[in-house]
Amino acid sequence: MRIVVLAGGIGGARFLRGLKAAAPEAEITVVGNTGDDIHLFGLKVCPDLDTVMYTLGGGVHEEQGWGRADETFAVKEELAAYGVGPEWFGLGDRDFATHIVRTQMIGAGYPLSAVTEALCARWQPGVRLLPMSDDRVETHVLVETDGERKAVHFQEYWVRLRAAVPAHAVVPVGAEAAKPAPGVLEAIAAADVIVFPPSNPVVSIGTILAVPGIREAIAEAGVPVVGLSPIVGDAPVRGMADKVLAAVGVESTAAAVAAHYGSGLLDGWLVDTVDAGAVAEVEEAGIRCRAVPLLMSDLAAATRMAREALTLAEEVRA
């Protein structure tokens, strides 16, 4: 079975571990969000691609869900000693090597998709990881601080500001001119199932869908598209999805996120058991809905969730 998954960072990566366990024979293609990418110290950092690669490749810092395990920060400390910032983004020595290899290959003319394939040759994530686009897309957030409105890079909003200031708009800069990376549209067209994991619906999955052609390809794929709510009991399970949902005028509820994707895109939606009351509302929107446990507390839980998603996909297909 061929499965395509649109993935962002931590939630998407952890779900993918469950999906691999639930469908060990499946051919899984991950379309990764690159809107979180940031250029620091002359290097291109791809947080969501790296989180998928490190998590599935066994190198991720488990508690954080991003960055490498067993990290040291000598380079970061030396940069700070030179007064070279920013200091708020925690890049470790091991992680720096990934960004050096990536930036070196891009400098040599390789597209991000080829670079990602090369990095994955080492990590063997057990899925095909494609960036959503080889073109540069960087999400910026219109925030209000000290009474003035300004656009800041998503990472500054997320990491330095801790999403603690009102976000008035979320803009994937460059998305409108970006093309899907090689293989993305082909993978969607060849898929038997398409899955939206519990990633951030605005800055992760929303950014992938903002690349012209991707949303249309999914809507026309003619196969079940099922998603898992990242919102449980009106709050994000992890991260701060509610902050960016507000910025795009979407209520922080499991039903509102399903409606945000829309029945033109989504055929099935899994909500957590605490949101069982939302099932009828989602079904009224034309999206098949079931309430199952969605707290991805460990691999077994993620595996059960993945199994539920594939079961719902078969129900929808029938």
Would you tell me which residues interact with ligand FO1 (CB under 6 A)? 8-10, 36, 45, 47-48, 50-51, 66-67, 89-91, 95, 155, 158-159
Smallest gap, in angstroms, from Cβ of residue 54 to ligand FO1? 8
CB closer to ligand FO1, 32 vs 268: 32
Backbone region of residue 258 per phi and psi (left: phi > 0; alpha: psi in -120 to 50; beta: other values): alpha
CB closer to ligand FO1, 95 vs 308: 95
Helices (H), the chain: 10-22, 47-57, 74-81, 93-107, 112-123, 154-155, 184-190, 205-209, 214-219, 241-247, 254-261, 279-284, 299-317
Q: Which residue is nearest to ligand FO1 (CB)?
A: 9
Smallest gap, in angstroms, from Cβ of residue 222 to ligand FO1? 30
Q: Which of 263, 278, 284 is nearest to 218 (CA)?
A: 263
State the pairing for strand pair 167-173/193-196.
Answer: unpaired
CB closer to ligand FO1, 51 vs 229: 51
CB closer to ligand FO1, 34 vs 253: 34
Tokens 């290097």 map to which residue?
A: 43
Tokens 């066994």 map to which residue?
A: 58
Smallest gap, in angstroms, from Cβ of residue 279 to ligand FO1? 28
Q: Which helix (H) or strand (E) holds 193?
A: strand 193-196
Q: Is 25 exposed, middle or buried (0-12, 13-18, 19+ CB in 10 A)?
A: exposed
CB closer to ligand FO1, 37 vs 267: 37
* Residue 202 burial (CB count, 10 A): 26
Answer whether 4's CB lies under 8 Å from 195's CB.
yes
Smallest gap, in angstroms, from Cβ of residue 48 to ligand FO1? 6
CB closer to ligand FO1, 101 vs 219: 101
Smallest gap, in angstroms, from Cβ of residue 82 to ligand FO1? 19
User: Phi and psi dihedrals of 250, rounded to 5?
Assistant: -110, 130
Smallest gap, in angstroms, from Cβ of residue 194 to ligand FO1? 21
Smallest gap, in angstroms, from Cβ of residue 260 to ligand FO1? 18
CB closer to ligand FO1, 117 vs 156: 156
Distance of CA 21 to the CA centre of its chain: 19
Strand partners for 236: 231
- What 3-state DSSP class applies to 135? coil
Label residues 136-154 b or e (16+ Cβ within 10 Å = b): bbbbbbbbeeeeeeeebbb
Smallest gap, in angstroms, from Cβ of residue 153 to ligand FO1? 10
CB closer to ligand FO1, 74 vs 280: 74
